[in-house]
Amino acid sequence: MNDSIYLSIQNSPRFKELVSKRERFAWILSAIMLGLYSGFILLIAYGPQVLGAKINPESSITWGIPIGVGLIVSAFVLTGIYVRRANGEFDDLNNAILKEAQQ
Amino acid sequence: MIRRLLALLSIAAFAPGAWAADALTGAVQKQPLNVSAILMFVVFVGATLCITYWASKRNKSAADYYAAGGKITGFQNGLAIAGDYMSAASFLGISALVFASGYDGLIYSIGFLVGWPIILFLIAERLRNLGKYTFADVASYRLGQTQIRTLSACGSLVVVAFYLIAQMVGAGKLIQLLFGLDYHVAVILVGVLMCLYVLFGGMLATTWVQIIKAVLLLSGASFMALMVMKHVNFDFNMLFSEAIKVHPKGEAIMSPGGLVKDPVSAFSLGLALMFGTAGLPHILMRFFTVSDAKEARKSVLYATGFIGYFYILTFIIGFGAILLVSTNPAFKDAAGALLGGNNMAAVHLANAVGGSIFLGFISAVAFATILAVVAGLTLAGASAVSHDLYASVIKKGKANEKDEIRISKITTIALAVLAIVLGILFESQNIAFMVGLAFSIAASCNFPVLLLSMYWKKLTTRGAMIGGWMGLISAVGLMILGPTIWVQILHHEKAIFPYEYPALFSMMIAFVGIWFFSVTDKSTAADNERALFFPQFVRSQTGLGASGAVSH
């Protein structure tokens, strides 16, 4: 690999598009995950009674159960959303950049 | 007593390993010989040794040895990561925590999971595109090889050492409980087997040991959860209401207990769990076993799915144990305590839902789990010595592949001997803090250097080196001055550092240190390193020039 290929990629508008799109997407998803988890920790520290409240008077299930399981599921769903877009749209763009640069 | 218990529980929260390691500290009662468990374990060992033999025939180059030739698929790697991450301690420990206090068990398992999406979003693909065998490849990509490789190798070795000791002691305690065998048998057995896997099979054998273990553990746990749900007619409401009826804490098991004491501790713990995972050398190394960034991303998706599913199962298993184990006098001693302690909740449940054969299966799987984890740790430690210290620092990148692998194999043997000796030395020590310390160091030394080397253009060798060492030293120092070691182990009156988890502070020290000593670095070498950021950036984003799968 020589430096000129790197330089041409670095200056290509497609590369800039890829980087800005992918970075923004990654940071937004990270912020969502961190936000959800921080919210959960804050709820444990300051409002445990919210998590201990029953979802309805007849049920013994408390809000903490769907919220906790929801967090586990959301971690999986968020990774799924990222992988779908990164392995599709972003990788296509990436391949186009590499092809263009090697010509 | 309760206070002490709570303190122990919160230490345990640090890492899956800490829990069992701690709960199994001190005198455990040796159980009667469990023949079916031992037989099934022998079958597992036989199968994994066959795989090791097969792998040894295929290992030809350094890339095969360190990274299984980059030919592991995303799905396989996802399973192997899950196998690396779901320790015996998290299976027995988290289900025991649910058994003892209900909802709190779920809180901890969530802490272990949320780091994975962050690893995917911020680290996985850049790591795969830049690295070859170890994460130090990435951290030192454009920086001074000698300094940064030394720092990263030390960070790796310290993490590996603490983690290994905890696993060895855990193995010794577990074998007494599960098989009814002697402590020393376990320590020597684990040491010898992990040495064989890594020595002859390298990454390929290690990967398959982890995959097999993950499949066995997930199927065993699925079966148990299924039987528990069948018992309550697949009705969660009934599961919880029945559990509330028979549990001494009653309705309190459905809401957070007192395990997380203050927001500072809670956040510090959360940070250590999240970013510690992203700095564990044996986990990071797994990303180099796949062919490209696409497969690396898939690995995290599958790993997150399997680990998340596993934590939901342990939650059901814990509640199942409340229903089926705590109500059955056959599993209790005269005083009404669980035979072998609370960590045996899942094991007794296996007996309750599947009889003695299934009990043997679960015991064998729980012990096999330790082997998979220690094999990964040993390989990561050996690579840090051979690839980073020997090939890059001592030989300045001019070592030939044969010598490098030979050094790696010598290190593997040395690590196995060391692990056996330390495992025996630490038999009756309180080692609960060790995995916690490993996570804190990973989060405060390995992670900041790795992250900034990929994201921050102005990072220089001087900044990374001084800041990284500051993170490492402050993580160790604050842990020693904190309540866990200063008060509980050294028996001082009052802790100098008031929080149990140093990560919040030591990470801050590391990041500020790296920033300050980088921006004030005016040397020409520093300017060159900054200029090298863009080619690195292009490669990290596009994978251009990245090492791919090796074909024979």
Gap between the Cα atoms of B95 and B224, Å rounded: 12
Mean pLDDT of B243-272: 82
Q: Determine contact, residues B206/B376, Cβ cutoff 8 Å.
A: yes
Predicted local distance difference test score (pLDDT) of residue B258: 66
Interaxial angle between packed helices B183-196 and B345-383, expressed in degrees from 0 to 180 and rounded to the nearest 10 = 40
Q: Determine contact, residues B106/B98, Cβ cutoff 8 Å.
A: yes
User: Quick check: B538 contacting A, CB < 8 Å?
Assistant: yes
Mean pLDDT of B90-103: 88
Question: Does the beta-carbon distance from B538 to A15 stay under 8 Å?
Answer: yes
Question: Does the beta-carbon distance from B270 to A37 stay under 8 Å?
Answer: yes
Chain A residues in contact with B294 by the CB 8 A cut-off are 86-87, 91
Q: Is the pLDDT of residue B541 over 80?
A: yes
Question: Does the beta-carbon distance from B117 to A29 stay under 8 Å?
Answer: yes
CB pairs under 8 A between A and B: 152
Interface of A with B in 61-90 (CB under 8 A): 61-62, 64-65, 68-69, 71-73, 75-76, 78-80, 82-83, 86-87
Give percent above pLDDT 70 in chain B: 92
B87, B209, B413, B442, B506 from B111: Cα distances, Å: 15, 26, 34, 16, 19
Gap between the Cα atoms of B63 and B419, Å rounded: 26
User: Quick check: B537 contacting A, CB < 8 Å?
Assistant: yes
Q: Determine contact, residues A97/A16, Cβ cutoff 8 Å.
A: no
Gap between the Cα atoms of B60 and B384, Å rounded: 20
Confidence class for position B101, pLDDT limits 50, 70, 90 = confident
CA B189 to chain centre: 20
Q: Is the pLDDT of residue B289 over 70?
A: yes
Mean pLDDT of A32-36: 94
Q: Is the pLDDT of residue B470 over 50?
A: yes
Confidence class for position B82, pLDDT limits 50, 70, 90 = very high
Query: Taking chain B, what is the end-to-end CA distance rounded to the nearest angstrom?
Result: 61
Confidence class for position B259, pLDDT limits 50, 70, 90 = low
Gap between the Cα atoms of B540 and B537, Å rounded: 5
**Choice between B349 and B35, residue whose per-residue pLDDT is larger:** B349
Predicted local distance difference test score (pLDDT) of residue B260: 61
Q: Is the pLDDT of residue B26 over 50?
A: no
User: Quick check: B305 contacting A, CB < 8 Å?
Assistant: yes
Q: Is the pLDDT of residue B21 over 70?
A: no
Gap between the Cα atoms of B242 and B95, Å rounded: 17
* Residue of A9, A40, A60, A91 to mutate for B, most B C-beta atoms under 10 A: A60
Question: Does the beta-carbon distance from A94 to B254 stay under 8 Å?
Answer: no
Predicted local distance difference test score (pLDDT) of residue B111: 84
User: Quick check: A42 contacting B, CB < 8 Å?
Assistant: yes
* Residue of A37, A58, A62, A79 to mutate for B, most B C-beta atoms under 10 A: A79
Predicted local distance difference test score (pLDDT) of residue B4: 36
For B332, list phi and psi in degrees, rounded to 5.
-120, 155
pLDDT one-digit tens code per residue, B344-376: 899 999 999 998 889 889 988 988 888 999 999
Predicted local distance difference test score (pLDDT) of residue B25: 42
Predicted local distance difference test score (pLDDT) of residue A2: 63
Question: Does the beta-carbon distance from A9 to B544 stay under 8 Å?
Answer: yes
Predicted local distance difference test score (pLDDT) of residue B551: 55
Chain A residues in contact with B121 by the CB 8 A cut-off are 26-27, 29-30, 33, 82
pLDDT one-digit tens code per residue, B47-79: 999 999 999 998 888 999 999 989 999 999 999
Chain B residues in contact with A62 by the CB 8 A cut-off are 103, 254-255
Predicted local distance difference test score (pLDDT) of residue B5: 34
Mean pLDDT of B229-243: 94
Predicted local distance difference test score (pLDDT) of residue B10: 39
* Residue of B235, B499, B541, B547 to mutate for A, most A C-beta atoms under 10 A: B541
* Token pair in block for residue B395: 């030989």
User: Quick check: A56 contacting B, CB < 8 Å?
Assistant: no
Mean pLDDT of B151-179: 89
Specify the pTM.
Answer: 0.90
pLDDT one-digit tens code per residue, B417-468: 999 999 998 887 767 678 778 888 999 999 999 999 999 999 999 999 999 9
Mean pLDDT of B314-330: 93
Q: Is the pLDDT of residue A1 over 80?
A: no
Predicted local distance difference test score (pLDDT) of residue B15: 36
Query: Taking chain A, what is the end-to-end CA distance rounded to the nearest angstrom?
Result: 13
User: Quick check: B266 contacting A, CB < 8 Å?
Assistant: yes
Give percent above pLDDT 70 in chain A: 98
pLDDT one-digit tens code per residue, A46-91: 888 889 899 988 888 999 999 999 999 999 999 999 999 999 999 9
* Token pair in block for residue A78: 């968020």
Predicted local distance difference test score (pLDDT) of residue B549: 63
Question: Does the beta-carbon distance from A78 to B117 stay under 8 Å?
Answer: yes
User: Quick check: A60 contacting B, CB < 8 Å?
Assistant: yes
**Choice between B109 and B7, residue whose per-residue pLDDT is larger:** B109
pLDDT one-digit tens code per residue, B397-418: 888 889 999 999 999 999 999 9
Q: Is the pLDDT of residue B44 over 70?
A: yes
User: Quick check: A35 contacting B, CB < 8 Å?
Assistant: no
Gap between the Cα atoms of B102 and B6, Å rounded: 14
Question: Does the beta-carbon distance from B544 to A5 stay under 8 Å?
Answer: yes
Gap between the Cα atoms of A37 and A22, Å rounded: 23
What is the nearest CA distance from A91 to chain B, expressed in angstroms?
Answer: 8
Mean pLDDT of B40-51: 92
